[in-house]
């Protein structure tokens, strides 16, 4: 995935890319990688929400 991303480690952000330089194939690969990353992030959100709910139940 790091083929496309430049990461700012200090701010934990991804730098914006200039898409003008990408071919159609590169753009398709890029969108595929973004979709995979979105799915991974959604899974992590669900995991953290479940952990939070379990902690709230435990401390009630």
Tell me the two tokens of residue 53. Answer: 């709910």
Could you tell me if 4 and 30 are in contact, meaning their C-beta atoms sit under 8 angstroms apart? yes
Residue-level pLDDT at 59: 84
pLDDT at 25 over 90: yes
Q: Which long-range contacts (CB under 8 A, 24 or more apart) does 55-59 make?
A: none
Q: What does the pLDDT average to over 28-52?
A: 95
Tell me the two tokens of residue 49. Answer: 């929400």
**CA-to-CA distance for 60 and 57, rounded, in angstroms?**
5
Residue, of 7 and 39, whose pLDDT is higher: 39
- Name the residue with tokens 């973004």: 34
Residue-level pLDDT at 1: 45
Q: What does the pLDDT average to over 43-49?
A: 98
């Amino acid at each position: 995935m790091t083929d496309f991303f430049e990461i700012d480690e200090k701010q934990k952000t991804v730098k914006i890319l200039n898409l003008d330089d990408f071919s159609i194939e590169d753009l398709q690969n890029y969108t595929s990688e973004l979709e995979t990353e979105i799915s991974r992030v959604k899974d992590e959100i669900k995991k953290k929400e479940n952990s939070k709910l379990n902690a709230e139940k435990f401390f009630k």
